[in-house]
Amino acid sequence: MRIAIIGSGCSGLTAIKNLLDAGLKEIICFEKSDQIGGNWVYTAAPSHSSVSEATHIISSKALSQFSDFPMPDDYPDYPSHQQILAYFQAYTRHFHLDHYIRFNTAVLRAEKIEKERWCLHLDDGTQAEFDYLLVANGHHSVPRHPDWKECFTGKYLHAHEYKTNQGLEGKRILVVGAGNSGCDCAVEASRVAARVDISLRSPQYIIPKFIMGRPTDTFAATFHWLPQSVQDGLQRISLRLQIGRYHDYALPEPDFSPTRAHPTINSALFDKIRHGKVHPRPGIQKVSGQTVYFADNATAQYDVLIAATGYKISFPFFDRDFLDWEEAAHIPLFLRIFHPDHPSLFFVGLIQPQGCIWPLAEIQARLIGQLLTNKIQLPLNWRKLALSEGRNRAQQFIARPRHSIEVHYYPYLKQLQRMIQGQIK
């Protein structure tokens, strides 16, 4: 049984490790760069990496580590990107995963051939055939740009290209989008810029990194056994006690429950707003030259515009006629892993959890290993479930492109665990 994995980021690494644990040895992971780590390999130059110089994770250390490889005791609650990369490198060394990785080898095309097998066309001019294909190429590499991008004549950056606040000194800056990347960009730019505005098209839950002295996710984890409506109520109460009303910060007040949208985890933005370093703005109506027209009929001129407008789901190695989810409202995969039309194709890490992705990718990979060694079987109606599951998950969240692969962390984790335990028939 020959198995190919595309990508050696966090999902690809845990895929190798868990397939090896299942007794599968014929594994090749193709990595187009010269090292492991995916997005967590920081470079100041534009690249595949989406981390900036100041990036720290937004989930806590305790709930971000792999189950059998804890992060070092001296790591802080929210490790830096340098520490996270070092953690993945240590994980790779400890389990000897690099023996199964072909570095500097890009998969140009993945083609399905007879008997549900796969032929990979590589950038060195060779081809290789496999029985199974695991896709772990991530979903933060192809920026989604706003329609008015070309209308702005100042300096335009997508958050993917934002690496450092150097060069922003004394500039008038508008950050578009208040997700995690947008808030980070606004906070860091405000340290040197003449003025930083942040535009929100719709309300957003911006949540502090600590609640009652504990990391937010570990605090919330103590209530995950409660009904969802009760959890939502407790979260709203804790936010009110912690930060007051969003209106107090000139931010729009959300009119939906906290778990209906992907949260932004950021404490510094509130401080910057109240100190007059970051100024909230409504959504954008149009852009002309360096002038931005907002929904409240106000206008302002900017030197730099940073678009924190998200990413497209991209698989450059698949023909678009074969698979194209760049504009998909929901993804038809059973358990976010299994494609109904291609039973030898698996996706690892193609999720946006309300929590950390790495522990979930670990369980996904473990499940695949159990399946390929015949320790478990998928339900007879798994293809039908893939279609209905995609639609049902989409209905749990506000209809936005960023939510096409969203999952609730603990319900999804329990679903994967039940599958491994053979409780889903």
Cβ atoms of 310 and 145 within 8 Å: the answer is no
Summarised one tens digit per residue, pLDDT across range 359-381 is 999 999 999 999 999 999 999 99
Q: How confident is the model at residue 425 (pLDDT cuts 50, 70, 90)?
A: low
The rounded distance, in Å, linking the Cα atoms of 49 and 311 is 13
Q: What pLDDT sits at residue 47?
A: 65
The rounded distance, in Å, linking the Cα atoms of 186 and 198 is 7
Q: Which residues pair with 113 in a beta bridge?
A: 117
Q: Which residues pair with 389 in a beta bridge?
A: none
**Least confident among 153-157, 204-208, 326-330:** 326-330
Confidence (pTM): 0.94
Closest CA to 404 of 274, 270, 314, 290: 314
Q: How confident is the model at residue 224 (pLDDT cuts 50, 70, 90)?
A: confident
> Strand, coil or helix: what is 233?
helix
Residue 395 has pLDDT above 90, yes or no: no
In this structure, the answer to whether residues 11 and 137 fall within a common structural domain is: yes
Tokens linked to 262: 């992907």
Q: What pLDDT sits at residue 424?
A: 67
Residue 109 has pLDDT above 70, yes or no: yes
Summarised one tens digit per residue, pLDDT across range 252-265 is 999 998 888 888 99
CATH label of the domain that carries residue 41:
3.50.50.60
Q: How many domains does the chain have?
A: 2
Q: What pLDDT sits at residue 84?
A: 97
Report, as an integer, the average pLDDT of 259-279. 94
Residue 121 CA to its chain's centroid (Å): 27
Residue 145 has pLDDT above 90, yes or no: yes
Domain closes at, from 255, 288, 307: 307
Residue 141 has pLDDT above 90, yes or no: no
Give the structural domain span for 88.
Answer: 3-142+311-421
The rounded distance, in Å, linking the Cα atoms of 57 and 136 is 20
Q: How far is CA 328 from CA 348, 378, 391, 405, in A?
A: 18, 25, 11, 10
Domain closes at, from 274, 307, 340: 307
Q: How confident is the model at residue 398 (pLDDT cuts 50, 70, 90)?
A: confident
Residue 135 has pLDDT above 90, yes or no: yes
Domain closes at, from 307, 328, 353: 307
Written as one string, the DSSP assignment of 159-228 is: GGG---STT-TT-EEEEE--SHHHHHHHHHHTTT-SEEEEE-SS---EE-SEETTEEHHHHHHTTTTS-H
Summarised one tens digit per residue, pLDDT across range 171-220 is 999 999 999 999 999 999 999 999 999 999 999 999 999 988 899 999 88
In this structure, the answer to whether residues 114 and 195 fall within a common structural domain is: no
3-class SS letters over 403-423: HCCEECHHHHHHHHHHHHCCC
In this structure, the answer to whether residues 229 and 300 fall within a common structural domain is: yes
Residue 124 has pLDDT above 90, yes or no: yes
